[in-house]
Amino acid sequence: MFGLVDCNNFYASCERVFRPDIRTAPVGVLSNNDGCLIARSREIKDLGIKMGVPYYQIKEQIKRYNIQVFSSNYELYGDMSNRVMRLLRDFVQDIEVYSIDEAFLDFHGYERFNLKEYGEKIVHTVTKGTGIPVSLGIAPTKTLAKVANKFAKKYPGYKGCCIIDTEEKRIKALQKTEVSDVWGIGRQHTKFLNKYNVKNAYEFTRMPKSWVRANMTVVGERMWEELNGIPRIALDEGLDMPKKTMCTSRAFGETISHIEGLREAVSTFAAMCAAQLRKQGSSAVSIMVFIHTNNFKPEEPQYARNCILDLPVPTSVTAEIIKYANIALSKIYRPGFKFKKAGVIITGICPDCAIQQDLFDTNLNRDKHARIMPIMDKLNSGFNRNSLIMAAQMGSQKWKMKQNHKSPCYTTRVSDFPVVKLH
């Protein structure tokens, strides 16, 4: 049996944990630069406000219904997610962290447990221990666990945990699940299946297996088997596989015309990539820098370019990666444009143990930097993020995102810790 734990309205729930006064109020979270609504509490959904609506279009409704609006606080959300996942690991041996607010659990070997009671205990413990309400679906396959989770979230009678452990429950659940709600079935496949009068998941499972494979490839066949109770998607235990590419980019809070501002942003993105490389024991072989203007303003002059550089020697040294990122930037920068976004992509990565040295590499004291970089990473770890940065990263920081409604980082910054006053 597999379980799927899903945090209910995760971003909104994170904001509510440290704000008891808004636990029954409508809560919304905005995208980068406070652009669009990307997370909604149940109260906002009930008001009929759609996901992705631009912030400026709902200002009147925000005032009318006293909607609590927050800028995205990924530092807080990431830490709260880690807390949820740590508690889940106390209940099962194998876990797959599927996204920031979802995790699959492997219940193989738990046959003697009453999984319904055990699941309710998981839901209660995580909700009480973190303040984040969660739902749990348990079923013989991961796809059916997704289906079960939707019922656990929708109907309070399940007490946060729905289990599909009989053929009767499986058929009943699939009959009440629209085919568009099945994990892995997108818009195009939904339209295609509707043409053949396949409206719900159960009707999909009644289609011939050969027909599914012919029309929806092996991926559709695997989905069909999963819905029929045949496990075909194994648990990915989330082993930290080294990344083959890395990207750090941002849309600026305000447009930048001068290269100095772009250098500051690109240097920061390059430094973030370098830290990621060191964390996984890798080095950059090549690097790409891109910049572009705001394509949502066609009345303004448009410009977009990128530049890829092969590095003389693979490296994860922050200063060196910043140096080559700025060389690439200087090749593509053009004055007279208002730039809205920039980014750094590490397009080639190799493990540190497989670096081919250059006989004529005399530009950098690599032994010295090999000692400095771990110290820099240690100083910037935990509650001390960005305690030590390169001079190239310092400046006006006009490129930083707009976050006019950002909440404190309650759990990761000492200055933001909640204060309790006793009389």
pLDDT in single tens digits along all 423 residues of the chain: 999 999 999 999 999 998 988 988 999 999 888 888 989 999 999 998 999 899 889 989 999 999 999 998 888 999 999 999 999 999 998 899 988 999 999 998 888 889 999 999 999 999 999 999 999 999 999 999 999 999 999 999 999 999 999 999 999 999 999 999 999 888 899 999 999 999 999 999 999 999 989 998 898 999 999 999 999 888 875 445 677 888 988 888 888 999 999 999 999 999 999 999 998 888 888 999 999 999 888 898 999 999 999 988 888 889 999 999 999 999 999 999 999 999 999 988 888 776 666 666 667 777 787 888 888 888 887 666 777 788 888 877 777 777 788 888 888 887 888 888 887
Residue 40 to residue 60: CA distance in whole angstroms: 17
Tokens 């927050």 belong to: 70
Q: What is the pLDDT of residue 314?
A: 87
Residue 91 to residue 277: CA distance in whole angstroms: 32
Helical H segments across 22-73, by residue range: 42-46, 59-64
Q: What is the pLDDT of residue 230?
A: 92
Residues 85, 95: contact at Cβ < 8 Å? yes
339-348 burial: b if 16+ Cβ within 10 Å, else e: bbbbbbbbbb
In angstroms, the Cα distances linking 266 to 75, 108, 250, 292, 366 are 21, 47, 10, 13, 23
Tokens describing residue 144:
């059916």
Kindly report the three-state secondary structure assignment for every residue of 326-347.
HHHHHHHCCCCCCEEEEEEEEE
Tokens 């409704």 belong to: 61
Q: Is the dihedral of CA 392, 395, 399, 405 positive or negative?
A: positive
Residue 242 to residue 264: CA distance in whole angstroms: 28
Treating both helix axes as pointing N-terminal to C-terminal, what angle do 366-379 and 259-279 enclose, rounded to 10 degrees?
90
Name which of 79, 19, 10 is nearest 39 in CA terms. Answer: 10
Q: Tell me, what amino acid is at 366? A: R
Give the Cβ contact number of residue 66 at 10 Å. Answer: 9
Residue 166 to residue 415: CA distance in whole angstroms: 52
Q: What is the pLDDT of residue 365?
A: 75
Please give the order of strands across the beta sheet that includes 37-40. 37-40, 27-30, 68-70
Element (H, E) at 272: helix 259-279
Q: Which residues contact 143 (CB under 8 A, 6 or more apart)?
A: 182, 183, 184, 223, 226, 227, 233
256 SS3 class: strand
In angstroms, the Cα distances linking 43 to 59, 153, 285, 289 are 16, 15, 49, 42
**DSSP letters spanning 277-322:** HHHTTEEEEEEEEEEEE-TT-TTS---EEEEEEEEEEEE--HHHHH
Q: What is the pLDDT of residue 240?
A: 55
Q: How many CA atoms lie within 13 A of 174 on its CB side?
A: 24
Q: Where are the beta strands (DSSP E) in 41-147?
A: 68-70, 95-99, 102-106, 134-139
Residue 325 to residue 300: CA distance in whole angstroms: 27
**How big is the CA angle at 204 (ends 202 and 205), to the nearest 5 degrees?**
65
> Which phi and psi (to 5°) does residue 309 adopt?
-120, 135
State the burial class of residue 38 (Cβ atoms within 10 Å of its Cβ: 0-12, 13-18, 19+): middle
Tokens 């005032």 belong to: 63
Tokens describing residue 311:
């590095």
Q: What pTM does this model have?
A: 0.76
